[in-house]
Chain A
Amino acid sequence: MELAVSELDAGILGIDLSGRMDIIGTQQIDLKFTALTSTRRAQILVDLSKVTFIASIGIRTLINNAKAQKLRGGSMVLYKPSSQVEEVLRATGIDTIIPIAHDFDAARGAFGSA
């Protein structure tokens, strides 16, 4: 997997993930993802549009870091997952505890309500 960082409008930190988020892929980005999402307060938009596959180990990383960010007073929004990735997120109820947005306005709104 690969990870890229960008500063978005309204002070939102964008993290673009790409690749296959199985145990191998997740191990490739986990340390950097955790450092970015858990060490300071932020509004974090995790762009999943280029994630081709997600397994339970990938969900674990999203959950652990969303929790850590919440403890710091910030929040995380999952952005533009593919239909297959979103199906996996919904099957495990993740959509009810970490907002999923498909456009930037909806993401900004989700940060406001998170």
Chain B
Amino acid sequence: MATEPSSQIVIQARLEELRDLAHWVERLAAEFSLPAAVTHRIDLCLTELATNVISYGYPDGRIGAVRIRFWRQRDQILIRIDDDGIPFDPTAYEPPGLPSSLDEAPSGGRGIRLVRNFSDQLQHVAADAGNQLTLVFRNPGNGTASSAPAGVQEPASLKPAR
């Protein structure tokens, strides 16, 4: 079975490269005829996760590398993010609850909540040197399908996003 991604990008872990990532998502949307709502969900999740890795993944100041691969399937999109930063499992992170008042609203901590809300599934695997995250986006509309990558043929087994 073919496991080559439909598309991929490698960025250096620097904030300036976030715009390259956003432009890559724009190109995916055009190439695979993604609906605007799906494109926005992907854009938001990748922006939040990449911002986290770039901001906190390399406390020693090293400029790491982040690889993002995209598989377009018939009924879903799979995206896998590999980084070589310090371990961080967003599926184990408990974001603060929704604020009850402006006075009590925390300053930050909303990125992971957004990723859980705007993706359908999120899975984290601790890699030998870094992290591997897999995101699933369902019902992306019609388009050219490719096969799933090894290890994610059964997305139902992934930990549900919250």
Contacts and interface: CB of A to CB of B under 8 A. Distances in A.
Interface in B12-71: 15-16, 18-19, 22, 36-37, 40, 43-44, 47-48, 51, 55
B153 interface: no
Contacts of A94: 99
Interface in B48-98: 48, 51, 55, 98
Contacts of B36: 84
A36 interface: no
Contact of A56 (B15, B102, B103, B114): B114
A56 B99 CA distance: 14
A2 B142 CA distance: 36
Interface residues of B, number: 29
Interface stretch (A3-11, A20-28, A41-49): A20-28
Interface stretch (B1-9, B104-112, B130-138): B104-112
Contacts of B113: 91-92
Nearest to B36: A84
B contacts with A: majority SS: helix
Interface in B110-151: 110-111, 113-114, 117-118
Interface in A61-78: 63-64, 66-67, 70
Nearest to B37: A84
B101 interface: yes
Contacts, number: 70
Contact of B16 (A24, A56, A59, A91): A24
Contacts of B19: 24
Given A88-B44, A92-B98, A97-B99, A23 B107 contact: no
Interface of A: 20, 22-24, 53, 55-57, 59-60, 63-64, 66-67, 70, 84, 88, 91-94, 96-98
Given A53-B22, A56-B48, A96-B98, 5 more contacts: A56-B110, A59-B110, A60-B107, A91-B113, A94-B99
24 contacts: A22-B47, A23-B51, A23-B55, A24-B19, A53-B22, A53-B44, A53-B47, A55-B47, A55-B111, A55-B114, A57-B51, A57-B108, A57-B111, A63-B102, A63-B105, A63-B107, A67-B102, A67-B103, A84-B36, A84-B37, A84-B40, A92-B98, A92-B110, A97-B105
Interface of B: 15-16, 18-19, 22, 36-37, 40, 43-44, 47-48, 51, 55, 98-103, 105, 107-108, 110-111, 113-114, 117-118
CB-CB nearest 5 A-B residue pairs: A93-B98, A56-B110, A56-B111, A97-B102, A91-B117
